[in-house]
Chains A and B, each alone.
Chain A
Amino acid sequence: MEEVKKVKTVCRSCHGGCGVIAHVKDGKVIKVEGDPESPISHGTMCSKGLSITQLAYHPDRVLYPMKKNGEGWERISWDEALDTVAGKFKEVKEQFGPEAIMIGQGTGRDFESHFSRFGNLLGTPNMITAGHMCYLSRIGAALITCGRHPAIDYANNPKCIVMWGCNPLWTNPDEYKGVSFWRAYQKGARLIVIDPRKGFLSKKADLWLQVRPGTDAALAMGFHNVIIEEGLYDEEFVWQYIHGWDTFVDRVRKDYPLERVEEITWVKQDLIRRAARLYATTKPAGIHWGVPTEQTINCTDFTRAAVGLMAATGNLDAPGGNVFHQPPGTRSISEFSSHKSLSNEQRLKQLGGEQYKLAARMTIVTPKCAWDAILTGKPYPVKAGYLVGTNPVITRANANEVYEALKKLSFLAVSDFFMTPTAELADIFLPAGTWLEQNHVSENWKFHGYVLARQKVLEIGECWQDHKIFMELGKRMGQQWWDTVEDALDWLLEPTGLTWEEFKEKGYLHGEQKFYKYREKGFSTPTKKVELYSTILERWGRDPLPKYTEIPESPVSRPDLTEKYPYILNSGLRTPTFFHSANRQIPWLREIRPDPIVEIHPATAEKHGIREGVWVWLESPRGRVKERARLNEGIDPRVIVAEHGWWYPEMKGPDHGWDISNINMLTDNSHESMDPVMGATNLRVLLCNISRCEEQEEE
């Protein structure tokens, strides 16, 4: 028996970043612990990361490359698997052009650089990610407004925190983790929480604004109204550094008087006023905003209005406000991805690029355009796909359409840990390594200024880290890559003067902190100012000023539907144990959350004869699914809040119960429902009805 060896690494059970010490004995990880020296997590870990051993050693994990034959799945060698994928891709490329191959990934998986490089060198502009409605969309909107993503600066102690549609203590917060927020809060920061549902943070808040789901952009304009009317803005900043301040002021005054904002958002005028005053008069103040603000038609407008709040109050790039963290000096993800290798001719073929201009600029394809191309052959056929760490059958809007589209592809390869409902549709399965099985300079794609060393602790079966799969597949397609994963990391790190081996010892790098950088260089926008009046949107023929657009399927916009579907379904309620569609097969986590939960107000429950714990049907114009009812007095009786991401790994394949509790059986992905420049799909707000399931399983 060996001694226990301790290896420092970095978690990636969500978007990652938490420091981990893995305990290895006899070639097996027996335990993981938080790393107290981590600048991100300070020794804490969440339930997902702590369960990594149950994921890595799960009996259902697929440890070898597989191909589908007439009878089912059959183990093959890596050579055969990669040759098959490369062969099929070459055939499609020759016959239909590289754009007929789509590659897709899910939420941020820390292989964005390799994913995009593979796509660019292949020559396909059709790279599908979650970026159209998650984080990248925020970054895109910030890019055209102020040049760079302004992340909240917890390290410098904001005195007021606006938590807008976000709970970093439970779920992946992209930059800093929940513990950083908590430390700032514990130091006495005032807290404003904007959330349709009462949760832990709303109970802690000085002010809780229970907003109608999807109307955040209107609320932000309401904040502006108060700040303008009461003269709470930073006079010097707005005139010197905001482009179009006066036009913006006109828009706010004319279109967003507080009585109208109250009518739209359901938040009382007095509360809006108090919240706006608190934010504008407490210095420094930071806004931390989450995906619910992005996953509607108002995606771009909300982030633009929020950046406007930071700018108007002088909190932009101010310590303790929202700051432009400096990158840590590695090669950028964009350089690694070799975006320049994709010819202009190919770039112009990007699906939906003409319609969704901001998405095109961010090299994002909204998935709807890919499904359309597969199903209709228009504007050109998409024939083959490679999906990596993603389960779109569960996580993308309009699941039925996603399922049909993937089924119709003539060839699909999938890389994952398990046979998910999406993987079951593939022809080739490539076994991916978990974060315990990776060497990587992690977090290079985020905007918090850190990179951290995720080092390989062990290998399991024949699983490869996805970075290596991209590299080896790329080489078989004639692309230029490095010999080893570590050689690529050396190149990525080169400007920092460190090799991968040296970086591994160091643990992390942090960009130099500088504030008020605009005073020297202005902002990275065409006018060098914060463009509340966007010259870029104007050039694209879009409304250059932020606004609120009514949710396309709401009681306001579709009164004709409200008799049959009287409630607003706020879909996508997070759990602390699962990350989107992941982890349902992890015994420790499933024990805590065995069933999908839908929360309803007790009064609504009573009306429908629903008790706590019973199974209920949720029905939208597109279908119905069932979840288990939980009563919560802290939601509006007109709103129903439901979890997303559910499938049942324990159920027989190939279906694994993908359509039973999958909330995306109900969501809509029509073009009319999406953000007009980013193509953000609406995963959050729709109309629904609720009823008790006739048959109840054990309760």
Chain B
Amino acid sequence: MEKASLRFEKKDCMGCHACEIACKQEHALGVGPRLVWVKEQSPDYIPVYCHHCARPPCGEACPVDAISRNDQGIVLIDAGLCIGCGECVQACPFGAMQFEDQREIAVKCDLCIHRLAENKQPACMSVCPTGCIHLDGKKSIAAVFENKIYQEI
């Protein structure tokens, strides 16, 4: 199965944080979990995001198998199964797994799977002014959704 994931070109990330807000809006998240976030180390910006790993450590750490990888290679968490133990948050080497205090569950990037199905770019990618966010694993996603989401802005 081919890997589907976001890829940020760090050199073109200019630290505007628009991706973060677009993501929060799309996933109706409040303060706390940041499924994508940009660390600032003046004058550099370091995007932190889910890599949708082929063998996701978050999934391996989950004691109740709430995290799985779907046919397009998107690593998803089942909110109904999550027991909020936080093991996955500890396990993620990228710091991308997040915890939502309100619902006491782990939350993660789902690559805006509902948007992909509508032939739309993930929310973060759609707003980036420098176009530094890309979808890797183009072929598999494109084959599934026959979309045009890779057009550069």
Contact = CB atoms under 8 A, between A and B. Distances in A.
B14 A169 contact: yes
Contacts of B22: 45, 50
B129 A200 contact: no
Given A44-B128, A44-B153, A50-B25, A576 B15 contact: yes
Task: Name the residue among A202, A577, A588, A632 with the largest chain B CB count within 10 angstroms.
Answer: A588
A53 interface: yes
Interface residues of B, number: 26
A576 B42 contact: no
Given A46-B16, A47-B18, A576-B17, A588 B129 contact: no
Nearest to B38: A592
A50 B17 CA distance: 11
A104 B34 CA distance: 39
B43 A182 contact: no
B43 A45 contact: no
B127 A44 contact: yes
A592 B17 contact: yes
B30 interface: yes
Contacts, number: 90
A655 interface: no
B126 A34 contact: yes
Given A632-B42, A632-B43, A634-B42, A33 B18 contact: no
Interface core residue of A50, A169, A178, A179 (most chain B CB under 10 Å): A50
A199 interface: yes
Most chain-A Cβ atoms within 10 A of its Cβ — which of B24, B30, B31, B130? Answer: B130
Given A179-B153, A631-B42, A47 B17 contact: yes
A31 B26 CA distance: 8
A481 interface: no
Secondary structure of the B side of the interface? loop
Contacts of B45: 200
A363 to B, nearest CB: 35
Nearest to B14: A200
A630 interface: yes
A44 B21 contact: no
Interface string B64-91: 0000000000000000000000000000
Interface in A516-575: none
Contacts of B18: 44-47, 50, 576
A630 B32 CA distance: 22
Contact of A43 (B21, B31, B130, B153): B153
Contacts of A197: 43
B136 interface: no
A510 interface: no
Given A42-B153, A45-B127, A592 B20 contact: yes
Interface string B3-15: 0000000000011
A599 interface: yes
B128 to A, nearest CB: 7
B129 A178 contact: yes
Contacts of A201: 14
Identify the interface centre among B14, B21, B34, B130: most chain A CB within 10 Å of its CB: B21
Interface in A59-82: none
Nearest to A631: B42
B93 to A, nearest CB: 23
Contacts of B153: 42-44, 179
Given A44-B18, A576-B15, A630-B42, A50 B127 contact: yes
Interface residues of A, number: 39
A599 B40 CA distance: 12
A107 interface: no
Interface string A580-620: 00000001111110000001000000000000000000000
Identify whether the interface residues of A are mostly helix, strand, loop, or mixed.
mixed
Nearest to A593: B17
Interface in A158-209: 169-170, 177-179, 182, 197-203
A50 B40 CA distance: 20
Given A50-B21, A51-B21, A44 B129 contact: yes
Nearest to A182: B130
B21 A199 contact: no
Contacts of A32: 25
Contacts of A634: 42-43
B9 to A, nearest CB: 12
Nearest to B30: A587
Nearest to A630: B42
B30 to A, nearest CB: 6
A34 B125 CA distance: 12
Contacts of A178: 16, 129
B43 A588 contact: no
A34 B14 CA distance: 19
Nearest to B130: A182
Interface string B112-128: 00000000000000111
A31 B28 CA distance: 9
Contacts of B130: 169, 182
Contacts of B127: 34, 43-46, 50
Contacts of B17: 47, 576-577, 592
Contacts of B40: 630
A53 B24 CA distance: 12
B130 to A, nearest CB: 5
Interface string A294-316: 00000000000000000000000
Contacts of A182: 129-131
B42 A33 contact: no
Contacts of A50: 18, 21-22, 25, 127
A198 B30 CA distance: 32
Contacts of B21: 47, 50-51, 588-589
A178 B127 CA distance: 12
Nearest to A198: B43
A591 B31 contact: yes
B16 to A, nearest CB: 4
Contact of B16 (A34, A170, A630): A170
Among A31, A53, A590, A592, residue most surrounded by chain B Cβ atoms (within 10 Å): A592
Interface in B103-146: 126-131
Nearest to B13: A200
A650 to B, nearest CB: 13
Contacts of A592: 17, 20
Contact of A576 (B16, B26, B34, B131): B16
A437 B23 CA distance: 24
Contacts of B24: 588
Contacts of B20: 47, 588, 592
Interface of A: 31-34, 42-47, 50-51, 53, 169-170, 177-179, 182, 197-203, 576-577, 587-592, 599, 630-632, 634
Given A34-B126, A591-B31, 11 more contacts: A33-B126, A50-B127, A169-B16, A170-B14, A170-B16, A200-B14, A576-B15, A587-B30, A592-B17, A630-B40, A632-B43
9 contacts: A32-B25, A45-B18, A47-B20, A182-B131, A203-B43, A576-B15, A590-B31, A591-B34, A632-B42
